[in-house]
């Protein structure tokens, strides 16, 4: 059971020309006699024809394909990111080749290898940590690589993302300054980003001599996890007056648990989410969340790659993005303002909310290896 793929040769034989003529017709119809062209068209319409990517991959030419290894398809965050990358890529005549890693380093290694084996011209990664082999293969291949999501210390190549620790720190400080004294961190799936936010939370509490209260589970986050964890927390730590959540899924779960227990939001407890997904827009009360620019991150990653691919000078780019508070009703107005103010202070340098391609290569950072 094997497919019979139609090749240029098949078409050519049927028409009575060589495959070269058919190839020419496909790329440059006017270079072929009108009569011949019509005959070729007729046969293609009859047989169907799908070009084979292999020769392009085999030749030294660019494949005009960018590999994108996202952490997950069940986290809505990444579908926005994919859309942004695909939109920009298509506009430039590139295509995105997709894979997902399930947040696992070995799986990322598999998938990056897979993508590279298709001779992608560049790679976009969303996982924060890579296996040594992944890093080596990428560096040796010398293709542009963009690591998304977090600001990282030693990127393989380019980097666009948020400093989650700093952001968490600023948010918690805002809550403390507004009078909250028993702030809890609601974690889930102890990945790097969750841990970064936790570090920011801990730093802020320590600064004010407060006791940390961290609740969470190893499991992937969802509403159920958020609600269950929150019910437990309300039993064990009833004096809690603010919840900082690692993402909007668990935040909504927590909100459900609070409403169910008759806790008033934000009077008794304020709730702050992370990511600003659409889900939070519908809840009553609407969830206040820290918004990250997912679509733009995907788009900008492709933007950087295109610059690398088309200009020969290589902007060595590490972009830190500024967060925005997505206003809802789960924080008091005062709290929201305090947090926004802290964001403004931390990002006083007016870092871009997403990279501005025009400016990008003026700003240069670390040198690129290889």
Partner DNA sequence: TTGTAGGCGTTATCAT
Partner DNA sequence: ATGATAACGCCTACAA
Q: Which residues sit at the interface with its own copies, rule CB under 8 A?
A: 1-6, 47-55, 57-58, 60, 62, 72-74, 76, 78-80, 82, 95, 97-100, 113-114, 116-119, 121, 133, 136-137, 139-144, 222-224, 226-227, 253, 256, 259-260, 278-279, 281-284, 308-312, 314
Task: Compare residues 174 and 280 and give the one whose CB is closer to its own copies.
Answer: 280
Identify each DSSP E strand in 92-155 by its residue range: 95-100, 122-125, 145-150
Q: Rounded CA gap, 215 and 120, in Å?
A: 41
Task: Tell the smallest beta-carbon distance from residue 369 to DNA (Å).
Answer: 22
Task: Tell the smallest beta-carbon distance from residue 65 to DNA (Å).
Answer: 15
Three-state secondary-structure class, residue 32: coil
Q: Tell me the sheet residues that pair with 67.
A: 97, 123
Closest CA to 172 of 283, 281, 293, 270: 270
Closest CA to 203 of 183, 179, 219: 183
Task: Tell the smallest beta-carbon distance from residue 132 to its own copies (Å).
Answer: 10
Question: What are 323's two structure tokens?
Answer: 């967060």
**Of these partners, DNA, its own copies, none, which one is at the site of residue 152 (CB under 5 to 8 Å by kind)?**
none
Write down the H helix ranges in 189-293: 192-207, 223-236, 248-260, 279-282
Contact pattern for DNA over residues 57 through 96, marking x by CB under 7 A: -xxx------------------------------------
Under rule CB under 7 A, residue 141 binds DNA: no
Task: Tell the smallest beta-carbon distance from residue 172 to its own copies (Å).
Answer: 26
Query: Of 13, 14, 36, 107, which lies in the binding site for DNA, with binding defined by CB under 7 A?
Result: 36
Question: What are 280's two structure tokens?
Answer: 């939070």
The per-residue b/e assignment along 154-169, b for 16 or more CB within 10 angstroms, e otherwise, is ebbbbbbbbbbbbbbb
Task: Compare residues 161 and 253 and give the one whose CB is closer to its own copies.
Answer: 253
Task: Tell the smallest beta-carbon distance from residue 136 to DNA (Å).
Answer: 16
DSSP per residue, 40-53: HHHHHHHH-----S
Task: Tell the smallest beta-carbon distance from residue 37 to DNA (Å).
Answer: 7
Q: Contacts with DNA: how many residues (CB under 7 A)?
A: 26
Q: Of 26-34, 314-322, 338-346, 359-367, which segment contacts DNA by CB under 7 A?
A: 26-34
103-122 residues in contact with DNA (CB under 7 A) are none
**Of these partners, its own copies, DNA, none, which one is at the site of residue 136 (CB under 5 to 8 Å by kind)?**
its own copies
Taken in order 23, 26, 30, 33, is the CA torsion positive or negative?
A: positive
Phi-psi region of 209 (alpha: psi -120 to 50; beta: other; left: phi over 0): left
Q: Rounded CA gap, 175 and 241, in Å?
A: 10
Task: Compare residues 57 and 195 and give the one whose CB is closer to DNA.
Answer: 57
Task: Tell the smallest beta-carbon distance from residue 2 to DNA (Å).
Answer: 12
Query: Which residues of the chain form contacts with DNA (CB under 7 A)?
Result: 5, 7-9, 17-21, 23-24, 26-27, 31-33, 35-36, 51-52, 54-56, 58-60
């Amino acid at each position: 059971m094997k497919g019979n793929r139609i090749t240029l040769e098949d078409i050519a034989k049927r028409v009575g020309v060589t495959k070269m003529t058919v190839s020419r017709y496909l790329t440059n119809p006017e270079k072929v006699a009108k009569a011949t062209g019509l005959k070729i068209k007729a046969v293609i319409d009859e047989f169907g024809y799908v070009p084979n990517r292999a020769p392009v991959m085999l030749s030294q030419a660019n494949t005009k394909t960018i590999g994108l290894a996202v952490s997950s398809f069940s986290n809505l965050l990444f579908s926005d990111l994919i859309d942004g990358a695909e939109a920009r890529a298509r506009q430039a005549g590139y295509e995105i080749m997709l894979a997902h890693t399930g947040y696992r380093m070995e799986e990322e290694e598999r998938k990056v290898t897979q993508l590279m084996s298709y001779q992608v011209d560049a790679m976009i990664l969303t996982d924060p940590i890579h296996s040594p082999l992944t890093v080596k293969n990428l560096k040796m291949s010398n293709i542009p690589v963009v690591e998304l999501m977090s600001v990282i210390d030693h990127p393989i190549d380019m980097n666009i993302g948020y400093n989650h620790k700093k952001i968490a720190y600023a948010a918690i400080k805002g809550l403390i300054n507004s009078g909250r004294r028993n702030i809890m961190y609601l974690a889930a799936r102890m990945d790097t980003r969750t841990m970064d936010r936790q570090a920011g939370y801990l730093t802020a509490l320590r600064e004010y001599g407060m006791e940390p209260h961290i609740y969470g589970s190893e499991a992937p986050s969802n509403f159920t996890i958020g609600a269950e964890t929150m019910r437990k927390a309300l039993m064990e730590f009833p004096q809690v007056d603010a919840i900082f959540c690692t993402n909007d899924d668990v935040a909504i779960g927590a909100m459900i648990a609070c409403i169910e227990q008759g806790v008033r939001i934000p009077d008794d407890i304020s709730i702050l989410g992370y990511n600003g997904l659409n889900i939070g827009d519908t809840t009553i009360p609407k969830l206040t969340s820290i918004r990250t620019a997912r679509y733009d991150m995907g788009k900008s990653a492709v933007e950087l790659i295109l610059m690398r691919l088309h200009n020969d000078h290589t902007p060595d780019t590490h972009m830190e993005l500024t967060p925005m508070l997505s206003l809802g009703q789960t924080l008091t107005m005062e709290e929201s303002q305090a947090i926004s103010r802290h964001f403004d202070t931390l990002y006083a340098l007016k870092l871009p909310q997403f990279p501005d391609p025009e400016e990008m290569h003026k700003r240069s950072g670390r040198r690129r290896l290889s």
